[in-house]
Amino acid sequence: MQINIEKLEAANTELKGVLRDALIVSDIWDYSTGLSLAAINPQPVGVALFTQIITTLNDVLSGSGFPTLNRYFFLDFEDNQICCVLLHGQGILQAVIMDAGKVNLGVLLAVAIPKMLAGVEAAQRA
């Protein structure tokens, strides 16, 4: 896989600038290997867990006649945390865990996620 790691790290830095102290974790990894490519507070166990969840969820959705996942989905965790899992094309995944009490969902949906999707796409083209 061809990917520019410096651009991934820059995208994570930009995400941190947008979400500020609401951001707890941002881990970007290779779907096929589980290798973390760029991270803020890396979570290797989370990488394995989210990879399995995505694989299972897509299999179940497809087998039930539903469309598979597109670009992202959200999880609402205990302890006032939310997680956005982003699917960057075929090979790159990302988990962003945030403090639900500090994150502005409008900024997350209108600014942070689109910038992250564009940043990872740029890293894949480089």
- Where does the pLDDT of residue 94 fall: very low under 50, low under 70, confident under 90, or very high at 90 and above? very high
Q: Which amino acid is at 123?
A: A
Q: What is the pLDDT of residue 89?
A: 83
The domain tally of the chain equals 1
Query: Domain limits at 88?
Result: 5-125
CATH number at residue 68: 3.30.450.30
8-state DSSP, 21: G
Contact predicate 91/32, CB 8 Å: yes
- Tracing tokens 């600014």 back to the chain, one arrives at 111
Q: Which amino acid is at 75?
A: L
Q: Reading across the β-sheet that carries 81-88, which strands appear in turn? A: 36-40, 23-30, 92-99, 81-88, 72-77
Share of the chain above pLDDT 70, in %: 99
